Amino acid sequence: MTMAERFSAAEQGWRGVGLALLTGIGIGLGQVPFALPVLALPALLLAVALFQRSATPRTAFRRGWVIGAGYALIVMFWIVEPFLIDFARHGWMAPFALGFMAAGFGVFWGAAFWAARCLVPVEGRGALVLALAWAAVEMLRSYALTGFPWALVGYIWTETPILQLSAYAGPHGLTLLTLVFAAGLVIAWASRQRVAAVAGMGAVGLGLFSAGYKLQTAPVPGSAETRPIIRLIQPNADQRQKWDPAMAPVFYQRQLSLTAEATALPPDLVVWPEVAVPFLINDPDAPLREIAGATDATVILGAQRLEGDRAYNSIAVLDRAGDVTALYDKSHLVPFGEYLPLTGIMARFGLSALAAQYGLGYTPGDSAQMLDLGGLGTALPLICYESIFPHEVRSAERPDWLLLVTNDGWFGTFSGPYQHFAQARARSVELGLPMVRVANTGISAMIDARGRVTGSLPLGVSGRLDAALPPALPPTPYARAGDLPVLLLLAASLAIVSIRRIRLTRS
């Protein structure tokens, strides 16, 4: 039996479902913590090949759906972790959460495969159209229904120099480039001049890698010796103990001690993570003067606050007297984690948001706003989930640097925190801005404007990191134009293919 015959046999029945599932998992292995694009790229080629061999739109949808579900099973596995924090109350939801997430995610990829086969109804053709449709649905899921641009296909390159290309193309441009390259390799392999065609695609890939490497190794202008020093505080408060009345004071005192540690070069700013304190920031008895008294620097911390019956997940800036000089309330909340869609219906079943400490969940604040920190410049505050939305981070007024406080203790220790960290680095690359990332359990890090980590505290340790704030780069092409060029390119290309398809149908 030839290889082609074996491949054809493997596509049939349940073996075909298994092959598609493994293909999706293979693509997922490109994402951190695996970071194996050397496996993800061949899996993408196999996905394109499976589409090419789909005779009908229905078959194409089924294969795309299974591939997408397999991808989601591995890259979204962390979704079960929040339900295991309070296992007795929420543990039963974990398998349903992962199952529904995988099934829903698969619909997007299935729709791309279906649309591509409708536009090119000829078996063995349509690879480039699939790349266009696939990139389009990746953009769609980033915006639709509040958006969820987690683990975009282009992020398989986050641990390689190719990530630097997102400064020009953005995350969706990088995804499109990846999918077009995979489709091109499949087409090259099927061509009569196979060797020359594959060699040509390899040369293109090498050129892109070289361009990324040149950007990644280029210095950022500015001297670290003259930059402000920022102290990152990581208390490592286990989420199962974070609100325990016996342990909450321990974590608070740990942060206070880390803040007060003396060094030869004192910090200009101290940053605590998301919801770092066990009290409300607007409680008259909140020990804010104690926090401010632990250092001569300005302190920024994550905390909760109440305004009437509304709860907010906030960032507060404390001056040296312990007064709150600026507040930011998280505006893009996590569905089911921080608020419940259809709150009235959910409340009848006794359900509340997983992270809710007050009522059924948080209230969204105003859209992103700047924190003016005087000599430290302006910072764009981001709280956890908000950092995964490249278009929202970019759409704000350009700051001097990005400030991200988060509590990744909800996401376990396997994949979630690493994926979240990789996407934070991608924001710096896309916009040419440094980022201060402070996490409760890690990874806390100082990230420069090319996404390089200049200092970090690993996952699962408590400690402090004093690091110089890197300078910003000039606005990148993506910072200037955003997703519009890629959106127009996809819309125009798919429109041309659609018009051509309509004309062929009528002729």
CA distance 86 to 380: 33
Tell me if residue 384 is catalytic: yes
| Catalytic residue of the set 81, 330, 338, 386 | 330
What per-residue string of b and e applies to 262-283 under the rule 16 or more CB within 10 Å gives b? eeeeebbbbbbbbbbbbebbbe
Q: How far is CA 70 from CA 20, 67, 74, in A?
A: 8, 5, 7
Angle subtended at Cα 211 by Cα 154 and Cα 134, rounded to the nearest 5 degrees: 20
To the query of whether residue 214 is one of the catalytic residues in this protein, the response is no
| Catalytic residue selected from 274, 386, 392, 430 | 274
Q: Could you give the CA distance from residue 209 to residue 165 in angstroms, rounded to a whole number?
A: 9
Residue in 242, 338, 384, 392 annotated catalytic: 384
**DSSP conformation letters of 33-66:** TT--HHHHHHHHHHHHHHHHT--SHHHHHHHHHH
Distance, CA of 490 to CA of 503 (rounded, Å): 20
Q: Which long-range contacts (CB under 8 A, 24 or more apart) does 386-389 make?
A: 386/330, 386/331, 386/332, 387/420, 387/423, 387/424, 387/427, 388/149, 388/150, 388/420, 388/423, 389/142, 389/147, 389/149, 389/332
Q: Round to whole Å and give the CA distance between 451 and 167.
A: 10
Question: Phi-psi bin for 282: left (phi > 0), alpha (psi -120 to 50), beta?
Answer: alpha
Alpha-carbon distances, residue 317 vs 253, 398, 465 (angstroms): 19, 20, 19
Q: Is the CB of residue 78 less than 8 Å from the CB of residue 219?
A: no
Active site residues per annotation:
274, 330, 384
